[in-house]
């Protein structure tokens, strides 16, 4: 009788262990999204037209999370689910500890004029005065934290040199961040019928300290009379949340080969330089251009049959992703012809990237080389 009891006990323990292991494996297979509602607690964010940024951001984030959680393939983690103050560094820690696949921070914009429109930021050096002002505004929450001088080691959001010091430590994720940002902005325009100011790059602390694709979404200007009213309404918040939710779903799907989404980075310096050199047939010294076709968790053989007949395919691993490239040339005019070939083959999301000394560099920097 005692032996039978022991067998039963052992069987029960093994069964529990199996169930727990199964649960752990199921969790690991989920796509982890960390949602961050900006500001909170004694930090209200901007108060344009009397509206509270912290409340609007939280409402949108909770709605995004609610919709994503209806899909079993997602696991959602929040930096806050109520009106509380969370330090910037702790927001990033939540995402890093969870080994998240995505970090999405939601905010509302403000300006002294009647400026309007959505903006989605990815990490980068603030290359315009407007981007610097945005970065300074979002980073100034540091001053509300206790012992901020010790925690942030002399970092001052008011000084441009401090922002420049926030280098792209997560530069391997910038392309994915841009993809997500483009999907979000596209949905804002196509689905929510909002005005978009495009994708921007700025040195935002909360993005700098995360080690996964990350974006900061400015859903509109509370200081704009029409836009502020829209964002303060439940229907407006739900529409913005829906656009972000669908963008995250599309992004997850786009991690497989051959996405169909066009995107651009708002970088006037790069655009003007590209216009100047695009028709030139002169190779650039020490620069190599490639067409990036896709980024995927799937490891594919760089063979033409996997890429709709395109040859000259190369593959590079960055973290848990593989990037696939088409072409290899120092001629910018030629690589743009190859980009069009890739588009004609169905890779409508492809774009040109530049390398120097085997390392990827900013396209703007590459185009300055003569």
Domain-terminating residue out of 220, 254, 288 = 254
The answer to whether residues 249 and 300 belong to one domain is no
In a domain, 50, yes or no: yes
Residue 95 and residue 189: Cα distance in Å, rounded? Answer: 28
Confidence of residue 280 (pLDDT cuts 50, 70, 90): low
First to last CA, the chain: 88
As given in the structure block, the two tokens for residue 273 are 């330089």
Can you tell me the mean pLDDT for 264-277? 39
The answer to whether residues 244 and 333 belong to one domain is no
Report the DSSP beta bridge partners of residue 102.
Answer: 33
The answer to whether residues 143 and 240 belong to one domain is yes
Half-sphere exposure of 353 (CA within 13 A, CB side): 22
116 vs 295: which has the higher pLDDT: 116
The answer to whether residues 74 and 180 belong to one domain is yes
List the Cα angle 254/255/259 in 5-degree steps.
Answer: 35
Contact in structure between 249 and 259 (CB atoms under 8 Å): no
In a domain, 262, yes or no: no
User: Which of the given ranges, 19-28, 175-184, 202-211, 256-265, has the highest pLDDT on average?
Assistant: 175-184
pLDDT of residue 302: 85
pLDDT of residue 150: 47
Q: Which domain holds residue 193?
A: 9-254
Contact in structure between 39 and 32 (CB atoms under 8 Å): no
Q: Is pLDDT of 154 > 60?
A: no
Q: Which uninterrupted H or E stretch holds 235?
A: helix 234-254
pLDDT of residue 124: 55
In a domain, 294, yes or no: yes
Half-sphere exposure of 90 (CA within 13 A, CB side): 15
User: DSSP class of residue 104?
Assistant: E
Residue 365 and residue 358: Cα distance in Å, rounded? Answer: 15
The answer to whether residues 230 and 288 belong to one domain is no
The answer to whether residues 187 and 279 belong to one domain is no
The answer to whether residues 62 and 109 belong to one domain is yes
pLDDT of residue 147: 52
Contact in structure between 33 and 74 (CB atoms under 8 Å): yes
pTM of the model: 0.59
In a domain, 3, yes or no: no
Q: What is the pLDDT of residues 106-138, one digit of tens each?
A: 999 999 999 999 999 886 544 444 434 444 444
- Mean of pLDDT over the chain: 75
Q: Which of 33-42, 252-261, 285-294 has the lowest mean pLDDT?
A: 252-261
Q: Is pLDDT of 179 > 60?
A: yes
Domain-terminating residue out of 226, 254, 282 = 254
Sequence-ordered list of residues with C-beta below 8 angstroms from that of 185, at least 6 positions apart, any chain: 118, 120, 196, 198, 199
**Residue whose tokens read 């700025």:** 202
Report the DSSP beta bridge partners of residue 314.
Answer: 325
Calculate the alpha carbon distances from 227 to 61, 63, 107, 118, 349 in Å. 18, 19, 14, 10, 31
Residue 31's CB: how many other CB atoms inside 10 A?
18
DSSP E strand boundaries for the chain: 31-37, 74-78, 102-109, 118-123, 196-202, 214-221, 288-296, 313-318, 321-329, 351-356, 359-361
The answer to whether residues 228 and 360 belong to one domain is no
The answer to whether residues 242 and 285 belong to one domain is no
pLDDT of residue 151: 43
In a domain, 261, yes or no: no
In a domain, 4, yes or no: no
In a domain, 296, yes or no: yes
Q: Is pLDDT of 265 > 50?
A: no
Q: Collapse the DSSP code of 81 into the 3-class scheme (helix H, G, I; strand E, B; otherwise coil) and give the result.
A: coil
Q: What is the CATH number of the domain that holds 331?
A: 3.30.70.1070
pLDDT of residue 144: 46
Half-sphere exposure of 74 (CA within 13 A, CB side): 23
291 vs 4: which has the higher pLDDT: 291
pLDDT of residue 30: 86
Confidence of residue 370 (pLDDT cuts 50, 70, 90): low
In a domain, 198, yes or no: yes
How many structural domains are present in the chain?
2
pLDDT of residue 284: 78
The answer to whether residues 192 and 53 belong to one domain is yes
**Residue whose tokens read 């925690």:** 151
Residue 243 and residue 231: Cα distance in Å, rounded? Answer: 13
Q: Is pLDDT of 333 > 80?
A: yes
Domain-terminating residue out of 194, 222, 254 = 254
The answer to whether residues 211 and 334 belong to one domain is no
φ and ψ at residue 303, rounded to 5 degrees: -110, 155
The answer to whether residues 92 and 188 belong to one domain is yes
Q: What is the CATH number of the domain that holds 210?
A: 3.40.630.40
């Amino acid at each position: 009788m005692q032996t039978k009891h022991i067998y039963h006990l052992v069987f029960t323990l093994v069964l529990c262990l199996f169930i727990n292991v199964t649960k752990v494996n199921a969790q690991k297979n989920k796509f982890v999204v960390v949602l961050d509602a900006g500001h909170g607690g004694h930090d209200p964010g901007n108060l344009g037209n009397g509206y509270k940024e912290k409340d609007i951001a939280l409402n949108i984030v909770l709605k995004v999370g609610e919709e994503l959680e209806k899909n079993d393939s997602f696991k959602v983690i929040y930096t806050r689910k109520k009106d509380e103050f969370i330090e910037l560094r702790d927001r990033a820690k939540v995402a890093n500890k969870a080994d998240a696949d995505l970090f999405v921070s939601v905010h509302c914009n403000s300006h002294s004029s009647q400026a309007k429109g959505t903006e989605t930021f990815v990490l980068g050096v603030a290359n315009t005065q407007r981007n610097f002002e945005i970065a300074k505004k979002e980073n100034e929450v540091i001053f509300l934290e206790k012992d901020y001088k010790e925690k942030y080691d002399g970092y001052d959001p008011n000084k441009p040199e401090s922002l420049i010091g926030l280098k792209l430590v997560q530069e391997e994720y910038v392309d994915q961040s841009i993809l997500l940002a483009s999907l979000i902005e596209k949905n804002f325009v196509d689905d929510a019928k909002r005005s978009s100011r495009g994708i921007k790059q700025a040195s935002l602390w909360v993005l700098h300290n995360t080690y996964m694709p990350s974006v900061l979404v400015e859903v509109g200007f509370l200081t704009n009379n029409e836009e502020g009213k829209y964002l303060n309404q439940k229907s407006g918040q739900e529409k913005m949340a829906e656009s972000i939710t669908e963008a995250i779903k599309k992004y997850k799907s786009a991690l497989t080969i051959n996405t169909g989404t066009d995107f651009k980075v708002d970088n006037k310096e790069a655009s003007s330089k590209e216009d100047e050199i695009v028709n030139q047939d002169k190779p650039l010294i020490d620069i190599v251009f490639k067409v990036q076709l896709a980024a995927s968790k799937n490891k594919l053989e760089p063979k033409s049959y996997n890429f709709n007949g395109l040859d000259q395919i190369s593959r590079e691993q960055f973290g848990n992703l593989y990037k696939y490239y088409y072409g290899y040339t120092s001629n910018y005019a030629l690589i743009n012809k190859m980009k069009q070939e890739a588009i004609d083959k169905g890779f409508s999301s492809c774009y040109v990237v530049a390398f120097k000394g085997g390392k990827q560099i900013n396209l703007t920097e590459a185009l300055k080389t003569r």
